[in-house]
Amino acid sequence: MRAHNTLEHSLSDGDRRRALRPAQRGQRPMVAAEADEDNLTGKALTRREANLFRLLAHPARLELLGALREDAACVCHLEALLGYPQAYVSQQLAVLRAAGLIEGRREGWNVYYRVCDARLFVALDAALTLLSPMGLPAPLPQTRREPGSVVPGCACPHCASVTPDSVDKQEAL
């Protein structure tokens, strides 16, 4: 018996195949930031918008995007930061990557992920504002970090090459 996957059950078979496979032969992913809006009809735009919201309707994916807001991060950074197992983080990153929301850059053994289009955060911030009382700006999520910061518990080359003195200096800032 297969495990329940919200994205799989919320999309039709054809949409699921297009959303979960990487772009091939120059095709654009289904939820790409740079989509050609001129060729889409009203229903097609509505369907793409619904697919984007289905994709974002997963708490772990929202946490991952929040962690990637300021800077690129490798899987071990995200695993240590969010407390999810490596396989789960990788699975959610694969869904976001296949949809065209994030991209990866390989450095040795590590792949550093970043958000493709910062306009995504405008939509996420608008949702937080709608959910907050009286439309006030929402508090910053706990997953945000400074660019280039060291993540405790991460064993990537970036974090492993930092000395204890530099971590103390960074924490003092």
Q: What is the pLDDT of residues 32-77, one digit of tens each?
A: 444 455 567 888 889 988 999 999 999 999 999 999 998 899 999 9
Fold of 58-172: Arc Repressor Mutant, subunit A (1.10.10)
Residues, the chain: 173
Helix or strand (DSSP H, E) at 115 = strand 110-115
Alpha helices in 83-139 (DSSP H): 86-98, 119-131
Which residue intervals of the chain are DSSP H helices? 6-10, 13-20, 42-56, 59-67, 75-82, 86-98, 119-131, 157-160, 164-172
Distance of CA 89 to the CA centre of its chain: 10
Q: Has residue 173 got a pLDDT over 90?
A: no
Q: What integer pLDDT is reported at residue 111 of this predicted model?
A: 92
Nearest in space to 124 (alpha carbons), one of 67, 167, 166, 171 = 67
pLDDT for 90-148, tens place per residue? 999 999 999 999 999 999 889 999 999 999 999 998 888 888 777 666 655 555 556 56
β-pair partners for 105: 112
| Arithmetic mean of pLDDT over the chain | 75
